[in-house]
Structure 1
Amino acid sequence: MQLSRAARSAMEKTMSATARRQKWRAFALIAPLALFLFVIFVIPISALLYRAVDNPEVIERLPGTLVVLENWDGEQAPADNAYTALMNDLLQAKADSGTGSLARRLNYEISGYRTLIFKTVRRLPFDDGSALSAEQVKSRFIDVDPRWGEARYWQAIANNGTSYSPYYLLAALDLKQEADGSIARVPPSTSAFLEIFGRTFLISAVVTVATLLLGFPLAYWISTLSKRRANLVMICILIPFWTSILVRIAAWVVLLQRQGLVNKTLMGAGLTGEPVDLLFNRLGVYIAMTHILLPFMILPIYSVMQSIPPTYQRAAVSLGSHPFAAFWRVYVPQTYPGVGAGTLLVFIIAVGYYITPALLGGAGDQMISYYVAYFTNQTINWGMASALGFILLVGTLILYSLYRRLSGRELGLG
């Protein structure tokens, strides 16, 4: 009996060691992929979220002023010692060459704050070597610019007393935080981002539908060809992948211009009496994006169609079904996974498009990626660029979750 227990114990230890080795072997196999995803996906997304709420400028450059404003009621201009603290902080910011970032951040809160900061810093120091009382410092600030006597300019400083702020995320949704902490919508004259997000999703949806309407029958036709001919057609479809997007866009500029091939063909066929404006508008964007993204719709649908046995449709016809009804009720439902994959792939790629709308569209055709690039490269507003990118990511994930839920119900999985 004791030998049996010893043998059982040894067997259990051997099995446990074998299981551990298998787990470590599996972990070693997936570790490179996990590390790759962590480096190219998790870290950038985390940085994106961090930059969207990061708010270091005011708290780093005006620490003494923020301490004085902690107990300020926010109704009227603060006490005289707040002006002294602001003078000392601005002098230190000037010495550290940090005035620019501070002025730029406060200018996001109130237009014209940048000018106010630089105007004041140029007049510092006030004392010219002699000590001034707090009341005198306040008087000097107001002499430089009467706006220092208004409470809202001090509220802009007090509202940024934390290292993290929802300002950029709210601004990306055309919202703002009031002095009392409540959330309000910005005036219609200054709101734009919700319209731009709506335009982005609308253009992406139209392009997705256009590629589906063109790609589905083309994929079905390819699936009916012999293997040799199907491979030849697929090569023709994949050829654009070997050409730069900029080259393809330049080609569309040549084709769609008023004296281009498309307009000459339309006029030669008598369809139009004068050239049609196809460039620098929404129609040109739709045409070019549909052409560029069409292969991404065809490939998933064709891969699914290729695996559907043709006997199913013939069996339905032999049982008395109309050929179109057999196609619609028997064949098409089996292509849903490919249609869903192609639709999702095209839509996700389309929402992030930048070059095509920028070169072929007008001012009212730019998508959200254009403004992400604008805030990144021109205004150097990384916070706003990160907030716009993060909102776009969240919207895409919500639509993806909705697609997964609907496709699960369609397939009987929900």
Structure 2
Amino acid sequence: MSDTTQTGPMRAADGTPLKKSLARALRRQKLRALMLIAPLLIFILVTFIAPIADMLFRSVENQIVADTLPNTVRALKSWDPETGELPGEPVFAGLAVDLQTAAELKIHTKLGSRLNYESPGISSLFRQSGRKVDDIGKEFQKRFVALHPAWKSGETWAALMGSDEWLEQARGWSRDQGPEPRFRLRKSAANALPRTGEVYLAFARDVQGTGRKAVSAEKPWPVLFTALAQDLGQASPEDIAAIDGPAAPLVQQAAAAISSFEPYSYRDAFIQMDKAWGEIGTWEVIKLYSPRYTPAYFLNAVDLELTPHGIEPAPENERIYLKLFWRTLWMSLLITFCCLALGYPVAWLLANLPSSKSNLLMILVLLPFWTSLLVRTSAWKILLQQQGVINDVLVWLGLIDDANRLVMINNKFGTIVAMTHILLPFMILPLFSVMKTIPPTYLRAAKSLGATPWTAFWRVYFPQSVPGIGAGSILVFILAIGYYITPELVGGTQGVFISNRIAYHISTSLNWGLAAALGSILLAAVLVLYYTYDKIVGIDNVKLG
């Protein structure tokens, strides 16, 4: 008899180990499942996850200062505001190059707007200085042109800063061939003249971005002469000698003559432009907000502010955000309770009436969805105002005096009434869907066992409707906490939510960082409340029927 006992691992029909074959089949199955959900997953990532991630990033992002004033920020690192003295000449020299470049690129006003959030009035300083700062560059331009007229030519600068490969491509280029070849810096010139290289690279990209002229045909920016004077004053003879290319002799001549230039005070030039440059507070703000990431937006969102002396409370008249957060939370909870108190009886009636009557009432519940939100909110303005319908009826009935009409609009009461009306269907529908699944025989059985109608309802019916209460409450609360149209129209100054301030900073003040911080805190508060609800009630108990 032959021995048929198998030794080694079990194998599939094709001879591969069975374990490996099963793993391969399972992997293919998972890939097929992933491909099926991939469109939905991509949609969620693009429309939900990515915007939230961008909002979280904007709440701490502060790169505009370091990107717009790179030389100034580097020089400011060694300055201590506690000394009570202005920054040294190197800081003002860096600012001369940075601000001129930013003014040419028309981004200096954006920087002013960013710093204006922290120090009101500083935006006008950058705007006005941006108009005058070219005078510094023009002063140095005169000095270089006096050495040799070729300095005012764009071809001279292109020959100095452009690489040999780019120069060769640019010579054979014509507008008919499309965009000019992308500019590339000459390494020897960029190493010896770092500031000049950075500015000329920005100049070349700006010219090529417009597409109107070739780089060599464009008139050089005055800031190039400021940067060149600073670089030549700091470059070693070896670095100057290493510069190659057609314009190398011109640079060597300028480097030999730079020591004969009349001394120039950048500090005096800026203080002459605007006295604010001579104030330590201006430089404190620039240094304080020079890091690429800042907690300032989150501090402002909780009525604190970042100062040179540390974190301090905001001025008394500017502390509004904590009050708005608290108002938003408790009013959203109150609106949710009002919707529950009004919606529960309606949902019970819909679930227990005959279908013919129930369907008619359901149409009335759904009717608000067929009316514009703006129309419904405006209707409440007409009803609640002091000369509105409700006050007129109360005066006609003699319940109130004409001189003492009720103030029911532009306050918390108006917001609660209007939002309860708007969000009520979102409470009724989940309640109705759950109540419809509760057999009416349960109540009859409880009564037959001796329970009173109230005991039968409270001990038998109500516990089975709790999942609908949970679903409706979560839905209404989440909608209420993020509403801003209705509070804006009927809330006045007392009934607005934090979402109104978020919308204001996004669309009006354009302080997107603060809006992102406020939104992030609101999101965190909702998640905390959601987690607390899950621990107390249990999210698994929430059902829609």
Fold agreement, TM-score > 0.5: yes
Question: What secondary structure, in the 3-state scheme, does the structure 1 residue paired with 2:438 have?
Answer: coil
Task: Specify the code of the residue in structure 2 equivalent to 1:249.
Answer: T
Shift in alpha-carbon separation, 1:218–1:124, aligned structure 2, 3 A: same
Q: What is aligned with 1:286?
A: 416
- C-alpha contact (below 8 Å) 1:208/1:343 kept by paired residues: yes
- C-alpha contact (below 8 Å) 2:438/2:464 kept by paired residues: yes
Give the C-alpha shift of residue 17 in structure 1.
5.1
Instruction: Count residues in correspondence.
Output: 409
Q: What is aligned with 2:69?
A: 62
Q: What is aligned with 1:313?
A: 443
Q: What is aligned with 1:79?
A: 88
Give the C-alpha shift of residue 400 in structure 1.
1.3
Task: Specify the code of the residue in structure 2 equivalent to 1:331.
Answer: Y
Correspondence for 1:270 among 398, 419, 424: 398
Give the C-alpha shift of residue 213 in structure 1.
0.8
Q: What is aligned with 2:266?
A: 137
Correspondence for 1:382 among 512, 519, 540: 512
Report 1 or 2 for greater relative contact order, CA contacts < 8 Å, sequence distance ≥ 6. Answer: 1
Give the C-alpha shift of residue 124 in structure 1.
2.0
2:172 is the counterpart of 1:169: no
Distance in structure 2 (CA, Å) of the matches to 1:115 and 1:354: 32
Task: Specify the code of the residue in structure 1 equivalent to 2:328.
Answer: T
2:475 is the counterpart of 1:345: yes
Distance in structure 2 (CA, Å) of the matches to 1:195 and 1:258: 27
Question: What secondary structure, in the 3-state scheme, does the structure 1 residue paired with 2:532 have?
Answer: helix
Distance in structure 2 (CA, Å) of the matches to 1:227 and 1:149: 80
Q: Deviations over 1:20-64 (max 9, x none)?
A: 443234323332322222122101101111222221221111100
Give the C-alpha shift of residue 101 in structure 1.
0.6
Distance in structure 1 (CA, Å) of the matches to 2:508 and 2:321: 18
Distance in structure 1 (CA, Å) of the matches to 2:333 and 2:297: 27
1:10-409 equivalences in 2 (<5 Å): 10=13, 15-16=22-23, 18-75=25-82, 76=84, 77-125=86-134, 127=136, 129-130=139-140, 133=263, 136-179=265-308, 182-274=310-402, 275-408=405-538
- C-alpha contact (below 8 Å) 1:354/1:369 kept by paired residues: yes
Distance in structure 1 (CA, Å) of the matches to 2:465 and 2:270: 72
Q: Relative to structure 2, which stretch is displaced further, 324-333 or 270-279?
A: 270-279
Runs of 4+, deviation exceeding 6 Å = 2-7
Question: What secondary structure, in the 3-state scheme, does the structure 2 residue paired with 1:362 have?
Answer: coil
Distance in structure 2 (CA, Å) of the matches to 1:173 and 1:243: 38
Task: Specify the code of the residue in structure 1 equivalent to 2:66.
Answer: I
Q: What is aligned with 2:12?
A: 9
Distance in structure 2 (CA, Å) of the matches to 1:66 and 1:233: 68
Q: Deviations over 1:68-107 (max 9, x none)?
A: 1112223132222211211221111111111111111111
- C-alpha contact (below 8 Å) 2:414/2:495 kept by paired residues: no
Question: What secondary structure, in the 3-state scheme, does the structure 2 residue paired with 1:321 have?
Answer: coil
Q: Relative to structure 2, which stretch is displaced further, 155-164 or 100-109?
A: 155-164
Normalization by structure 2: what TM-score? 0.70
Runs (5+) with no aligned partner, structure 2: 141-260
Question: What secondary structure, in the 3-state scheme, does the structure 2 residue paired with 1:272 have?
Answer: coil
Normalization by structure 1: what TM-score? 0.90
Give the C-alpha shift of residue 348 in structure 1.
0.8
Runs (5+) with no aligned partner, structure 1: none
Q: Which of the pair has more CA radius of gyration?
A: 2
Task: Specify the code of the residue in structure 2 equivalent to 1:346.
Answer: V
- C-alpha contact (below 8 Å) 1:196/1:367 kept by paired residues: yes
- C-alpha contact (below 8 Å) 1:300/1:339 kept by paired residues: yes
Give the C-alpha shift of residue 267 in structure 1.
3.0
- C-alpha root-mean-square deviation of aligned residues, in Å? 2.5
Q: In percent, how many aligned pairs have the same letter? A: 43
Give the C-alpha shift of residue 356 in structure 1.
1.0
